[in-house]
Structure 1
Amino acid sequence: MNTILRSGSAQAEISTLGAELVSFTRKDTGTEYIWSGDAAYWTGRSPVLFPIIGAVRNGEIKVGGQAYKLANHGFARRSEFTVVEADESRAVFLLTSSEHTLSSYPFQFNLYITYTLNDSTLKLDYRVENIDGGSISFQLGTHPAFNCPLDQNGSFSDYVLEFSETENLDREFLNDAGLRISGKSETVLREERSLPLSHEMFKDGALIFQNVNSRQITLKSRLTGKSVAVSFEGFPDLGIWQPLNAPFVCIEPWQGFADIDVFEGELSEKEGIVTLSPGERFASSLTIEIN
């Protein structure tokens, strides 16, 4: 079931499956900003990544010495959320722990995602609550895919990613199992704020960056000026991805990232992990502004 939010200038559509944003359009131009989910390239559109990001070594996490099988990016994107509030411009979705989630992730939690549409700006507020008797550990990430080009004019290589702050970014690489390759990196930006896009830059998979300075990244056409700005809080890390030659690009603020290929520890020992004591909450946000 889909929930539709409307403003004077835009419309957003969210599915209860994964609480996933499946459409975000401008009313005046009819421009669709979110990827269609065409299986020829990728069926996702804007999934939430929880309780892990990317892959874990051997496809499992360890908690208290016990192994639990957990698929890439976790289970939230494949789970039905409950709509707990909804009106014309705001909707709140909830995923809570269950017998199904406990079989792969042995913690009690609430995951809320609140969508608020104001004019041409859509804000996603994420909240994780620890309702367990002990501490819980998790990662949380976003994965919105934006059509590129944003309209029928131009090509993918006419677009650029503009960072709000000067960046020094070294890219990490993933192996065939989706794990970060220890000791392998490549400089992508040095004292720069602009990253021109090309399909070739994704021939080795996603670009993974830790601890970016910017809190806003704008996908912008150098021909038309049409753009979409992605702002975020509580997400220090970043993924940029597309299946090779696809007509979209994902701008993915994260809290955490995939395991490194030599990692053998417990979930609580992962890099980029969040740990909450009983009763504690974690909050972060993602804002999409279409222009």
Structure 2
Amino acid sequence: MTTDHVTISNDRLTLGVAPLGAEMQYLRTNDGDDLLWHGDPAFWSGRAPVLFPIVGRAVDDVIAVGNHRATMPQHGFARRSHFDLVESTATKCHHVLRASDGTRESYPFDFALHLTHELSGNTIGVTARIENLSNRPMPFGFGFHPAFLWPLPGAADKPHHVQLAAGGSPRRQPLHDDGLLDADLVPGPFENGQLELAEQLFSDGALVFPNGADSLRYGPADGPWLDFTFHNLPDLALWKPAGAPFLCIEPWHGTASRVGDGPEIGERPNSTTLSPGANKTFGYSLSVTV
């Protein structure tokens, strides 16, 4: 675990956030129960990375903005970048990533990515604000990738579910072995907004639901629960590696490229383009009931 991190807490929750990626390192209840995956590299070294300026993989790991072409790793570079701490109180911390010579080599824009974590009662709010500080339109994708324990504390013998607040049976977009999406949607596994989690659901990788949900509940039918509400994050993915004791609940604005897509960031599925001087906010809230 990274020791160089900021801790915020109240009488219900304690949260640690590292400067590398402004990534959550742990989320604990006042009883000392961990809710967040701890990053064991035997399964996955991540905990809750932030995805920018792309979500998912690009064809051949190459992106383009006009005549500028460069390699770009899956999910972009923000998760491997150092964020500066600009504010820290007992219950809130605010980090920022600004463009550098290194980021401009692959992504030729001046930008600021602000990430704020704040606790209020049994709820954590995570907010990203992205500013275009360049003199031309700036295309990008953005997403969150937090991993939560499966099973949740005190629920080892209970089936876990994902329940969509709006109900429905969103269609999914199959993911290929190379990390690219199929062009077509297929029926998804939700039935009337309900999905009982099982290992075999993830045998082909992540479940990706374009325009999937704006709020959901994760946990056993009778609790404990994690309740999520998403802001400006219409796409949803659920993922776990084989045998891993966690579930990633990933709200995105944008997805991986589709098979056969070109490299232009602005043409990636559900990408966002900011005018010069403009900004846009994305976020989610998570309420804990244990």
TM-score after normalising by structure 1: 0.95
Equivalent residue runs for 1:126-275 within 5 Å: 126-155=128-157, 158-183=159-184, 185-190=186-191, 192-212=192-212, 214-222=213-221, 225-275=223-273
Q: Which moved more, 1:40-49 or 1:225-234?
A: 225-234
More strand by percentage: 1
Determine if the alignment matches structure 1 residue 9 to structure 2 residue 12.
yes
Q: Give per-residue Cα distances to partners, 1:236-282, cap 9 Å, x unaligned.
A: 00000000121000110000000001102521122211001111001
Identical aligned residues as a percent: 33
Q: Which moved more, 1:100-109 or 1:172-181?
A: 172-181
Q: Which moved more, 1:254-263 or 1:116-125?
A: 116-125
The alpha-carbon deviation at position 154 of structure 1 amounts to 2.3
Q: Which moved more, 1:261-270 or 1:234-243?
A: 261-270
Amino acid in structure 2 at the alignment position of 1:40: A
Q: Give per-residue Cα distances to partners, 1:152-183, cap 9 Å, x unaligned.
A: 5425x710011110223112122222100233
SS at match of 2:172: strand
Equivalent residue runs for 1:13-92 within 5 Å: 13-27=16-30, 29-92=31-94
SS at match of 2:128: strand
Distance 1:153 1:165 in 2: 25
SS at match of 1:172: coil
Indicate the RMSD between aligned Cα atoms, in angstroms.
1.3
Q: Note the residue ranges of structure 2 that are not aligned, 5 or more in a row.
A: none
Distance 1:184 1:289 in 2: 31
Distance 1:32 1:95 in 2: 28
Distance 1:142 1:275 in 2: 18
Aligned residues: 286
- Contact 1:31/1:150, CA 8 A, preserved across alignment: no
Q: List structure 1 runs of 4+ shifted beyond 4 angstroms.
A: none
Q: Give the one of 95, 101, 121 matched to 2:103.
A: 101
TM-score after normalising by structure 2: 0.95
SS at match of 1:268: helix
Distance 2:249 2:84 in 1: 26
Q: Note the residue ranges of structure 1 that are not aligned, 5 or more in a row.
A: none
Distance 1:40 1:147 in 2: 15
SS at match of 1:173: coil
Amino acid in structure 1 at the alignment position of 2:52: F
Distance 2:142 2:104 in 1: 17
